[in-house]
Chains A and B, each alone.
Chain A
Amino acid sequence: MSWLVALWETFTNPVFYKLTLSAATPLIFAALGGVFSERTGVTNIALEGIMLMGAFMGVAGTFLFGSPWIGLLLAIVCGMGLALLHAWASINFCADQIVSATALILLAQGLTGFLLEPIFGQPGSTPIFPKIPEVKLTFLGTDSFLYRMIGSLSPLVYIAFLLVIVSWFLIYKTRLGLRMRAVGENPEAADTLGVNVFRIRYFGVIMSGFFAALGGAYLSIGELGQFTENMTGGKGFIALAAMILGNWKPAGAMWACLLFGVAQALNQQLQSNPTLAISSTTKPLFNLLPFVITLIVVGGFVGRTRAPAADGVPYEKKG
């Protein structure tokens, strides 16, 4: 009975919706990144690592240059750099894309942990810095339900949803998008027509770095204002699951990310709900929820949705 009350309390609480958007935003960025890369035929499971890099560089940039916007820029550059390594190994050297990406995740974890002391003077986490200022919709009335729901979100939230539309347009309505899709399905066919398969794949992978870095930066300079070691906590992989669930489409991925956002927000709200009064020892069991859901999604939906035909297969020109 108390569960139902708790659920009602949660769904009528504007904070729940704000948390959903907040949780979904980094996932949307990363999932879009996954879509870009895999649509051109290169798997990129290093999203987790690129996000972490983005999160770290966001704070580092803020610290070193004084503005979180510069931090954002630094995050994007470094994220794209990491993605470039993956592209280079996978496209030019036909590396095992899964192993290469795993290496990059480890590299990101190692580098970000390593650089904490040299740059910030303390291990484990950074001090708190000013984050990207939120967009305040004061015209809604600071006490209203709507305001508490969406009235003070980070601009990155808006950017995320905007980018979903931009991505859809690019992939389905432009020439570049047509070529991307062709290269992801049958690179040889595209090659025989003079399409530069390598260049398109580089584009896809580097863009995944761009998006994932944004997602990571949101976690640090968009939400918390600081970086803690391994703060991405598996979100990069949840984004991959969202991409699969969304059938490798920007809009589909977005909905899937919102679903995961709901799960995360529900988790947080129920944990702190006074009616349920969850003890601190039981809390970790709640944290399981997003991972179990991901497991079910990946286990159940993989066969039902369709990856691009040439996804993960290195392309080698003959002769």
Chain B
Amino acid sequence: MLPFQIPEPSAYSRYAVVMKKIRKQFPKVLANDDVDLYVERGEIHAIVGENGAGKSTLMNQLYGLYSPDSGEILVGGEEVVIHGPKDAINAGIGMVHQHFMLVGPLTVAENIVLGNEPVGAMDVFRYQKARQEVQKISQAYGLTVDVDARIEDLPVGSQQRVEILKTLYRGAEILILDEPTAVLTPQETEDLFRVLKNLQKNGKTVIFITHKLNEVMAVSNNVTVMRLGKVTGRIPTSETSPRKLANMMVGREVLLRVEKSPHKPGSEILRVDSLKVKDNRGLMAVEGVSFTLHEGEILGIAGVAGNGQTELIESLAGLRKADSGSVFFEGADITQKAPRDIRELGISHIAEDRFKYAMVREFSVAFNMALGRHYKHPFAKSGFLREEEIYQNAKKLVEEFDVRPREIHILASNLSGGNQQKMVVAREFAYHPKCMLVAQPTRGLDIGAIEFIHKTLIHFRDSNVGILLVSMELEEIFSLCDRILVMYEGSFMGEVKPDEISLEEIGLMMAGQTWEQVEGERA
């Protein structure tokens, strides 16, 4: 399992980073359990594992956001004590987080120099000098960016470049990237890999955290595999494969694709006609889309985050007013209906951000299970709650959907992320919907939970429910969907079937090419 040669302490100076016997305990979980990490100078090192394996925790300690309970960290052979980001920066370590650490209203230059600003007399901030220095670095590493633009006006790919420049400005020799491709199209991912290889040529060391095995194969030199807080594999990339890595990640054979038999879709259940929806800033996020969803099918909407999928689903669920266009459910116009009415009609919604939208953390599991139906039979009568019914319902669902622990009276905040999602899914499924709007149902879940939810979605599709699935995970889309719509900047680039298109081609569509263009390039 560990064919990697573990180096002798005398050889540590050859390594950019050595982390030995790192232990980090959180109140409910041992996140890092005697973890050892060896990263050679000038390599691109991947750390893989499922959600909750402890990868981010490990890197956060390297960057000083957490402190290890025990263990040591050596940079370039020298032991370092890292109390905070400033120490890490001094040691030549820079980090690009999964959720960007950028200040929206400030400019690129201001964001990059923040904390290390050039100053003059009376603490005056020398903006001109700052932008010059940023320009210099930007050109040196080939990371083009408009230094005077405000961050909140830039697209995600540019923002990531700003994050990388932040580390380089501070003289980082070792760059940590946490799930850098989560928000990128396949093409932007290619660009990123080019940047990483360029950095490597310039003598930098790169550590990146990911759960996407194809990326590991594409760009890394060595891989460390983590599972449940421990290291379960340490191997040169050339000597492994996605299947072997998946095995080390989960400890058993993993079905990378869910089993599903073809199912014949029924009649039309949801029809969307030239729907336009504005986003929070008043700009048009959905630019007049039209599509049809049938009973017994899973229709996927693929695309990078921020291309209008969120606003589309919110509009269908009644959480956001449509600007124009119409939505028909079983023939009736439901375009501007309120969330309650839409649910009453038989449309369920699994929201993309469960913390914020799908559950009330301060309510018990039982009360959460009643949300959405808390005012009607069987949970209420003449305005009064019927607690026995609420509790019975919750007990049943908790069993059926394997929510752990099986305690219906504890607060929802006491459940783990995966179990919270199962609770939400249980509730929405239990309303026996005719149609489901599902957004990012498996984000942040471990493989066991993911498999369960996928199986349940297929089961519902086989029971003639029409499911609209929005996901940023192409694996999930390909695995579950009967048809796929690709969304880019508020419009659909085309409709495809999963077995008729390649990953690269769908990536092109996600980046703005229409199906016709892609198909044309085939010939």
Q: Which residues of A contact B (CB under 8 A)?
A: 173-179, 181-182, 185-186, 188-195, 309, 318-319
Contacts and interface: CB of A to CB of B under 8 A. Distances in A.
B66 A319 contact: yes
A309 B104 contact: yes
A85 B65 CA distance: 28
Interface size class of B (residues with CB under 8 A): 20 to 34
Nearest to A179: B114
Contacts of A176: 123
A148 B124 CA distance: 40
8 contacts: A178-B106, A178-B110, A179-B114, A181-B105, A186-B102, A189-B111, A194-B85, A318-B66
Given A173-B125, A182-B106, A319-B65, A188 B101 contact: yes
A223 to B, nearest CB: 33
Contact of B103 (A175, A177, A190): A190
Given A194-B89, A318-B65, A174 B123 contact: yes
Contacts of A318: 65-66
B66 A194 contact: no
A185 B150 CA distance: 13
Nearest to B90: A194
A193 B85 contact: yes
Interface string B479-491: 0000000000000
B97 interface: yes
A318 B123 CA distance: 30
Given A173-B124, A174-B122, A193-B166, 11 more contacts: A173-B125, A174-B119, A174-B124, A176-B123, A178-B125, A179-B114, A186-B104, A192-B85, A192-B97, A193-B116, A319-B24
B67 interface: yes
B84 A194 contact: yes
Contacts of B220: none
A200 to B, nearest CB: 11
Interface string B75-97: 00000000011100100000101
Contacts of B100: 189
A178 B101 contact: no
A167 to B, nearest CB: 14
Contacts of B60: 319
B65 A174 contact: no
Contacts of A190: 103, 114-115
A98 to B, nearest CB: 19
A210 B85 CA distance: 32
Contacts of A193: 85, 89, 101, 114-116, 166
Contacts of A194: 84-86, 89, 115
B65 A192 contact: yes
Contacts of B125: 173-175, 177-178
A191 B85 contact: yes
Nearest to B125: A175
**Which of A181, A185, A186, A189 has the most chain B CB within a 10 Å cutoff?**
A189
Contacts of A192: 63, 65, 85, 95, 97, 101
Contacts, number: 76
B407 interface: no
B117 A185 contact: no
Contacts of B123: 174-176
A182 B124 contact: no
A319 B65 CA distance: 7
A195 B65 contact: no
A181 B106 contact: yes
Q: Is the interface of A mostly helix, strand, loop or mixed?
A: helix
Interface string B125-160: 100000000000000000000000000000000000
Nearest to B87: A194
B115 A195 contact: yes
Nearest to A177: B125
Nearest to B84: A194
Nearest to B63: A192
A319 B66 CA distance: 5
A174 B63 CA distance: 28
B223 to A, nearest CB: 26
Nearest to B67: A319
Given A179-B114, A318-B66, A185 B85 contact: no
**Which of B26, B125, B166 has the most chain A CB within a 10 Å cutoff?**
B125
Top 4 closest A-B pairs, CB basis?
A319-B66, A193-B115, A189-B101, A194-B86
Contacts of A179: 114-115
Contacts of B84: 194
Nearest to A187: B103
A309 B151 CA distance: 14
Contacts of A319: 24, 26, 60, 65-67
Contacts of A309: 104
A195 B89 CA distance: 12
B70 to A, nearest CB: 14
A173 B110 CA distance: 12
A49 B151 CA distance: 38
B61 to A, nearest CB: 8
A118 B252 CA distance: 79
Contacts of B116: 193
A188 B123 CA distance: 23
Given A181-B103, A185-B104, A186-B103, A175 B117 contact: yes
A186 B105 CA distance: 10
A193 B60 CA distance: 13
A274 B314 CA distance: 61
Contacts of A175: 117, 119, 123-125
Contacts of B106: 178, 181-182, 185
Given A177-B125, A179-B114, A189 B102 contact: yes
A280 B42 CA distance: 85
Nearest to B61: A319
Contacts of A181: 103, 105-106
Contact of A189 (B67, B103, B117): B103
Nearest to B170: A193
Interface in B369-423: none
B175 to A, nearest CB: 14
Given A174-B123, A189-B103, A195 B67 contact: no
Contacts of A191: 85
A179 B103 CA distance: 10
**Which of B104, B110, B115 has the most chain A CB within a 10 Å cutoff?**
B115
Nearest to A181: B106
A316 to B, nearest CB: 12
B114 A182 contact: yes
A185 B119 contact: no
